[in-house]
Amino acid sequence: MISITKFAAASAVLAAGALARSRYERKHFEIRNFQAGYPGLPRVFDGFSIVFLTDLHNNSFGENNEKLLQAIDRLHPDIVAVGGDMMVAKGPGSLEIPLCLIRALAEKYPVYYGLGNHEHRMDREREIYGDQYDRYMDAIEGMGVHLLRNRSEYLERQGERIRITGLDLSRRYYKKVGKRPMSQIYLKRTLGEGHGDEFHILLAHSPLYFKEYVRWGADLVLAGHFHGGTICLPGLGGVMTPNYMFFPEYDRGFYKEGDSRMVLSAGLGTHSINLRLNNRPQLILVELRRRV
């Protein structure tokens, strides 16, 4: 029979090993490549590539994120899409790391930026963050970044175009534990009509409402927020999201709903739950394909 002392010692060793592994994973990202095929994609966009970054939370891979930037350059994307939560909004903090990364990206690529709950919090809680939100937004717009706060733009190629929209979800849809119902009226009121006849990319930070996004008119949803479920168990998937949902329906990867797709990134950083196990940060490349 194992004594309490031996059990405690073994538990301490396992915990130390898990923490060491987590420290390693948090600083070593993986590259995931997804192909999303659509019969309605304009032919000239066949092979169009998108690097998707989300949930950096002030993490840095090498000095000034040089390892991340070098990896992006090797992928040769047509655009870079940012899904939000590039900083940690837990009291006034530094914006230097995300601004440095975005500046370097904007010098080489068209960058389209959708907001997450941490950017939203800086705007909402000005008694805590002062003008930090305004300074951040002014800075990235000054770099030529396409800021998509509940608005759309068009990507054009050889006379054809596709639409990209950024959704800034209201606070009530970032509920701790559980999911608040969302009506289609909310999305139409916030973003306008989905224009189902156009190919449509939606930057939507939370993956919880994938089905609602599809009904609204999104063909490709790019999402994050759940950090891959923090700890990933073989056969079971992600264990817990940052908003304390256990074994969520969506944690990371590629999801289908009818003819629509969602690419859900495990993100690049952490914040309150500073842990990753079997769940490395992700740099995502999405290639659009015209499917016959």
Where are the chain's structural domains? 4-290
Position with higher pLDDT, 220 vs 20:
220
What are the structure tokens assigned to 232, written together? 């990933």
Q: What whole-number percentage of the chain has pLDDT above 90?
A: 73
When pLDDT is cut at 50, 70 and 90, the band that residue 16 belongs to is: low
* Residue 275: predicted pLDDT: 84
Region 63-72 average pLDDT = 97
pLDDT tens digit string along 206-220? 999 999 999 999 999
Per-residue three-class SS string for 128-147: HHCCHHHHHHHHHHHCCCEE
- For the domain with range 4-290, which CATH number is right: 3.40.50.1000, 3.60.21.10, 2.40.10.10, 1.10.3720.10? 3.60.21.10
pLDDT surpassing 70 at residue 17:
no
* Residue 12: predicted pLDDT: 59
pLDDT tens digit string along 244-271? 888 889 999 999 999 999 999 999 999 8
Position with higher pLDDT, 14 vs 155:
155
Q: What's the pTM?
A: 0.93
Beta strands 232-233 and 220-223, pairing class = unpaired
Ordered alpha helix ranges (H), the chain: 4-26, 66-75, 96-106, 117-124, 126-129, 132-142, 184-191, 210-216
Neighbouring-strand partners of residue 160: 157
* Residue 18: predicted pLDDT: 63
Least confident of 35-49, 65-79, 83-97: 83-97
Least confident of 13-17, 172-176, 189-193, 263-267: 13-17
pLDDT tens digit string along 80-95? 999 999 999 887 778 9
pLDDT surpassing 70 at residue 7:
no
* Mean per-residue pLDDT of the chain: 91
What are the structure tokens assigned to 217, written together? 């008119």
pLDDT surpassing 70 at residue 2:
no
